[in-house]
Amino acid sequence: MAERPIRMGMIGGGTEAFIGGVHRMAARLDDSMRLVAGALSSTPARSMESGRALGLQPDRCYGTWSDMLAKEAALPEHERMEAVVIVAPNDVHAPAATAALEAGFHVVCDKPLAVSTDEADALVAAQQASGRVFAVTYNYTGYPMVRQARHVVRSGGIGAVRRVMVEYLQGWLATPLEQSGHKQAGWRTDPARAGAGVLGDIGSHAENLMTFVTGLTASEICSDVSTHVAGRAVEDDASVLLRFGGGAVGSLTASQVCPGSRNGLSLRIWGERGGLVWHQERPCELLQTSLEGPDVVHRAGDPELAPVAADACRLPSGHPEGFIEAFANIYRGAAAAMRAGRDDGEAFGYPDVRDGARGVHFVAAALAASGCGWTRV
């Protein structure tokens, strides 16, 4: 028998927001969570309108997230929401998540976790004090082939890691789109609301993917951070060199000013005996190379996948699964943890608040290191 869905309320993500719809589809796919309440916009009237359009009961449509937290907490336990999903702009993440934890709710928060390292560290402490589940939607870790890559690396399938290369390239901000009134571009290029630019928006995904698969965290970095679009207040292009403990090295590139690039997230890893290549735009395939034998292509749904990857598949091999399904795997894991009453991302398969805080610290370090340590040639 399927487990009952967790009752969730949403902060941000109204009917006009792309990412809100993605979260709702992902939550519904396995009946992991069910939307029962919402404060879906920073404008109370639009929030109420979005709530009604999504079929929420009129008394569960709220004008502000603080009103939602207070009124939901006052409802009988069997009726109130159990988890708060935060998909508002970045500056809302920390205050809303802190208040949700203090009110006794579990949290699912979009990345980046916060706009500063102080906020991120405070959220880790708040989660630990509350004991509630806290998931951060680094959704690319939900892809079956990403989980297969993690299994191959962690089981020694390519030997000790020597080099890691991760890149995330987009082109949607190659022009000053924020000056046209574009809502998403507006807040994502506003340092007061976003905290950082490309590093926080997609560079944090790249860092998380690299760490999730390899288990390596950078001990030293050197970065070159640029703003190419005139008048833009945040960085829109970044290159980071990485050194890991044990001698491994790597690089991370994130850019939103590459015309023609759509969602070009890719990961390449080389070890002593072989390598792995994965591209998000071809998510159902993982190439494994080897010194000892022919190349192997792992495919989603194939019978020989590791259990951790097979469990993330819903369809037989040859039936493509993609972005929503990967996102849904994060929701499925978080919901299982909430039912168990145990915040354990490793066991249940979701990125947790500590992963989110590490990402914020990485972004801050990359920004601080920009332009340092170069030798003129």
Residue 47 reports pLDDT greater than 90: yes
- Reduced to 3 states, what is the DSSP secondary structure of residue 59? helix
Q: How far apart are CA 29 and CA 143, in angstroms?
A: 15
Average pLDDT over residues 225-248: 96
Superfamily of domain 6-139 in CATH is NAD(P)-binding Rossmann-like Domain (3.40.50.720)
pLDDT at 88: 97
Determine the pLDDT at residue 1.
40
- Per-residue pLDDT averaged across 175-182, rounded? 97
Give me the pLDDT at residue 2, please. 60
Pairing of strands 237-244, 285-290: unpaired
Instruction: Report, as an integer, the average pLDDT of 179-204.
Output: 97
The average pLDDT across 256-281 equals 98
Average pLDDT over residues 5-24: 96
Q: Give the global pTM.
A: 0.96
Please check the confidence at residue 341 and state whether its pLDDT lies above 60.
Answer: yes
Average pLDDT score over the chain: 96
Give per-residue pLDDT as tens, 156-174. Answer: 999 999 999 999 999 999 9
Q: Which two tokens stand for residue 361?
A: 């610290």
Phi and psi angles of residue 268, each rounded to the nearest 5 degrees, phi first: -130, 135
Reduced to 3 states (helix: H, G, I; strand: E, B; else coil), residue 32 is coil
What is 144-317's CATH topology? Dihydrodipicolinate Reductase; domain 2 (3.30.360)
The 10s digit of each residue's pLDDT in 315-331 is 999 999 999 999 999 99
Q: What is the Cα–Cα distance from 207 to 203, expressed in whole angstroms?
A: 6
Dist CA 93 CA 330 (whole Å): 18
Is the pLDDT reported for residue 373 higher than 90? no
Taking the domains of the chain in order of start, what are their residue ranges? 6-139, 144-317
pLDDT at 102 over 80: yes
Do the beta carbons of residue 43 and residue 14 sit within 8 Å?
Answer: no
Q: Cis peptide leading into 316, omega within 30 of 0?
A: no
pLDDT of residue 279: 98
The secondary element (H helix, E strand) that includes residue 276 is: strand 274-279
Region 232-256 average pLDDT: 97
> What is the chain's alpha carbon radius of gyration, rounded to the nearest angstrom?
21
Residue 375, pLDDT score: 61
Taking residues 197-223, what's their average pLDDT? 97
pLDDT in tens, 350-367: 999 999 999 999 999 999
| Residue 3 confidence (pLDDT) above 90 | no
Closest CA to 205 of 261, 167, 235: 167
